[in-house]
Structure 1
Amino acid sequence: MIRVLLVDDDQELTALLSEYLEREGFAATAVHSGEEGEVQALSSRYSIVVLDVMLPRLSGIEVLRRIRARSQVPVVLLTARGDNIDRITGLELGADDYVPKPSSPGELVARLRAIMRRVNPAPDQTATEAIKTGQLVLWPGKRQALWQGNELGLTSTEFSLLEELARCAGQVVSKQDLSLNALGCPLTRYDRRIDVHISSIRQKLGPRPDAKAWIQSVRGLGYLLIAE
């Protein structure tokens, strides 16, 4: 069973979401402060965390920063509708996705399931062989990545995007294909999720010897992972 940690000071909302999640087959636990959310998220008891950005005292963004310093547990942010600054900041800090508030419980469930499918693919979808391109080695079944011989710390979403690019190394992959194949949802207008995640992956890979990025943007088309 997928164990979901809800971190939100709105107790009425978390009660509603918990009830809905449990009807959908999840096990839900709610806490109502950033401090307790941090402790519980780092306890290794949960499969995924749903974290409200607008928490009193310790903000959701700071909680996310502290979680990412010690854990790669998947995190979905609850953000105010239209608040692009918090969304982009959260993605840059390693959030896997965000859901605007107010939103339907069904949308949250769909996002949670999409992330968990990426983290725990079905046995017949798990690639047992490594994907190798240049100095990059990915093991999709273990969700493990090596870059230049060293462990590459990626969030679940970053791993899925890099895996899709690595499978097509040397070829341009459209943003729509990345969204469908790596994120499990169609690309929507003005959606910057992919751009922010790619920017984070670039930072982790570092620059090429010529100071250019290993992942190139191809204007109007998509992204290309240089195969060397």
Structure 2
Amino acid sequence: MDLNEDSAPSLGSMIQAPDGGRGGGAGAPRILVVEDDDAIGEELVSILTTYGMSATRVAGWDAAMAAIAAEPVDLVILDQWLGRLDALTLLPRMRAATAAHIVILTGNRAETDRIVGLEVGADDFLQKPISGRELVARVRARLRRHGPTPPPAPEVPAATRWHVAEGARRILGPGGKAVPLTGTEFDLLMLLMQTPGEPVDRDVLSLRILQRPYRPEDRAIDNLVHNIRLKFGARRGAAIITTVRNKGYAFTGFPLAG
């Protein structure tokens, strides 16, 4: 089937690439596809290579970060949900590691996710299902906006004595001792860390962490922040997460001293 036809199918149904030369030669745009669904991932790579791009695919977050570190790419197509992982929660890490365009592939139509994603490093969103023609057109349009991808700036840790072990979902303090956060507390802290120094309102926190709209009488987010502060130590915790009146909460950094 020719993807140039108006009837080009949407992602989610496997398509056959047209006969003819595949792309991916020297000088071709380098695309990294991060997609845990084998069928969709293979289809994305097939479409992109058919239209002159050099596309590779990985299935998970850790593999994506390793691929970016190993070789610069021009654009990343990142599925929002990799298993149970919402990639938006870690997007600032990818943004710090690469100057490539980052395009989120999502089936989620919520405006809040799109706004948050754009604020923390995404360049564009592609809504599932998407036709092969639109995929290629959107990728080409994004690549035309800037020249070749410059080498990424090195990521500098906010504090050398604290470490965020994302894979293990733990915060390690001086000496490697873990702060005993629950999974929900860890997710809340990671969300605040995406925009250090900038307040995140309770509406966003409730939707992203608790998957429910915030109500004025709902104290769940406040209680989570209180518990996180206590686990870092009352005085130190209050300095790590500050309350911004009428706006929400902000992450202000880990203390240098243990």
Point out the structure with max Rg over C-alpha: 2
